[in-house]
Amino acid sequence: MTRFDDRDGFIWMDGALVPWRDANVHILSHALHYGSSVFEGERAYNGRIFKGVEHSARLIRSAQLLDMALPFSVAEIEAAKYAVLAANGWSDAYLRAVAFRGAGEEMGVSSQSNPIRLAVAGWEWGAYYGAAQDQGARLDIASWKRPSPETIPTAAKAAGLYMICTMSKQAAQAKGYSDALLLDWRGHIAEASSANVFFVKGDEVHTPLPDAILNGITRQTVIEMLQAEGIRVHERHIDPAEMEGFEQCFLTGTAAEITPVSEIGPYRFEIGALTRRVVAGYARLVRA
């Protein structure tokens, strides 16, 4: 596969498209040392970014939670994303908008005079979990836990919050799993490394209450889809032992889209009719 730092094409940075290989930042950028970075992952289908405005608005809110004021509006961020699609000739692609505190006059923990920068990149990306899209993803149960919102702004899609996700997924992959399921600091089921989780029991659906995890835009979309079908959705705290009684499970996320789950640790799930209906319904919705 082609390295991500050595490709043809264009990336949008701070108001202009630049050649891919020139889209660089200085080694003393604050974000690299102190984690002052937020981002969004989005998919374009048939040239249209699914819920792009919602993603751009969340990027701004995430930055605010990290005490960063983005110097771009939602409309300007949207224009940048579509400029990236056009410049690279993509109709179906994954887009990554990232805002971060750059290099400037300060290099300490507090560097408020340093500029807030924004970049938008993208690439063509198939199924995030590969064959698991059809066969069901296999998840390990991570040893790391999602933190309390009293310790870090968990409502922000902040880069620093993903470090334990990286460690958890790598540990799971080393054991032959697709991903890892993380619990929260209280021991309740939280989410996968980069996707929300849903469980099915009978004709009802259960999903963790988003009080310590990111309330994903795909998650919200799926809840709306289910409720429109008259399916009852329970947003609540879920203990790991409850997985013994669930029949189906699936993950949701921009990258993951809707991915069925076949097992989590010792628990097994079928890829049932409701899960398949959600997969098909979401595929229709994003390309409508």
Rounded CA separation 177/31 (Å): 31
Phi, psi of 276 (to 5 degrees): -65, -35
Q: Which residue carries 């899209």 as its tokens?
A: 133
Q: Which of 51, 81, 157, 169 is catalytic?
A: 157
Rounded CA separation 91/70 (Å): 27
Rounded CA separation 274/136 (Å): 14
Rounded CA separation 201/209 (Å): 17
145 is catalytic: no
Nearby residues of 26 by Cβ (< 8 Å), 6 or more positions away: 102, 103
Rounded CA separation 276/260 (Å): 8
| Active site amino acids | 157
